[in-house]
Amino acid sequence: MFPMIIKRTIFLFVIGPGIVGNVFVAVNYMYIFFWDTKKKSTHLILIHLAFTNIINLFSKGMLKTIGTFGLRNFRDGVGCKFFVYLERVARGLSISTTSFLTVVQAITISPRASACATFKPASTWYILPFFPFLWILNSLVSMNLLYYMKNINSLNRSQVGQRGSYCYFLPANQTMKWVFLILMILRDILFLSLMGWASVYMVCVLHRHHQHARYLQKSKVLYHKPPEIRAAHSVLLLMLCFLFFYWTDCILSLYLNSFFNSKSLILFILEILTLGYATVSPFVLIHRDAHLAKCWHFH
């Protein structure tokens, strides 16, 4: 009984602040984007990232919490498919949106004479078509879940080895299994590669900018750090946060599937890690953005 109480408490402490933080970030950036003259392309991407985080917390976290509290009548077959599928799509959207944010920020701070400067959008609205593309891509990559995911209550005991989860992934055709697995791996490799390239490029640009700033300070010239540079530091911090949770999740998943026998503790840690980025990222933005921090302290 004690471990179950701990699980309930941890899930509530992870999900609650995460949803509040993401709603706060989304509402404030929506206000800036639609009613403020200082709107940027990254604001629109951050709104989408916050919305993705809310979906992830709701589909993964809230359903886990409902299962922890024992409300099994809520979980019918359609609900099981819907929430598990939505959680998988939200995971893909998280990596693709973070990668997109890193690339756009790298292009934003690129010098005018560089090749990247030619890709700067003339208007913030030009990046809107990328969002339907990301949704369609991640929806198609996770399409197999709609067929192979079943509610555990609809299966007999001969089909399910262990009862303790609310959804069960039916054994899939090996060809289909490898096709969708390869598609997921290729998607992750693509967006991680873009994220890595953009991050290295930003570090190089920031290093050159830092050298130039030191030269101006030695020359006793008044220097103010441009907002694009502060935003680049924030995006890099957000990217590092994502990579920490992503690779920790991957390493523990590999360890769990290969060597670990008692799976309950590691599975619970993995469930928390899948919610980690969605919960932490809005507070990283609040800490780094002076406007968000001011509004947060005011409320």
> How much is the average pLDDT of 102-123?
80
pLDDT at 290: 79
CB atoms < 10 A from the CB of 59, how many?
20
Among 4-8, 124-128, 159-163, the range with the most confident prediction by mean pLDDT is 124-128
pTM of the model: 0.85
CA distance 75 to 83: 10
Give the residue, 89 or 114, on which the prediction is more confident: 89
- For residue 180, which of 129, 216, 138, 239 has the smallest C-alpha distance? 138
CA 66 – CA 137 distance, rounded (Å): 29
**CA atoms 209, 212, 217, 221: torsion sign:** negative
Who's near 86: CB < 8 A, 6+ residues apart?
Answer: 55, 59
Which residue ranges make up each domain of the chain? 2-298
Q: Name the residue with higher pLDDT: 215 or 21.
A: 21
Selection from 177, 152, 147 nearest residue 166 by Cα? 152
- The superfamily in CATH containing domain 2-298 is Rhodopsin 7-helix transmembrane proteins (1.20.1070.10)
| Three-class SS state of 220 | coil
Instruction: Please tell me the predicted confidence (pLDDT) of residue 237.
Output: 92
- The torsion angles phi and psi of 167, rounded to 5 degrees, stand at -130, 155
Which has more confidence, 1 or 143?
Answer: 143
Q: Within the chain, what is the greatest distance between any pair of CA atoms?
A: 78
Percent of the chain residues past pLDDT 90, beyond the cut: 31
User: Average pLDDT, whole number, for the chain?
Assistant: 79
pLDDT recorded at residue 278: 93
Torsion angle in degrees (nearest 10) through CA of 84, 192, 97, 92: -10
pLDDT band at 283 (very low <50, low <70, confident <90, very high): very high
Lowest mean pLDDT among 4-8, 30-34, 178-182, 274-278: 4-8
Query: For every residue of 139-193, which 3-state class applies, written as one string?
Result: HHHCCCHHHHEEEHHHCCCCCCCCCCCCEEECCCCHHHHHHHHHHHHHHHHHHHH
Instruction: Give the Å distances, CA to CA, from 178 to 39, 112, 172, 184, 185.
Output: 43, 44, 10, 10, 10
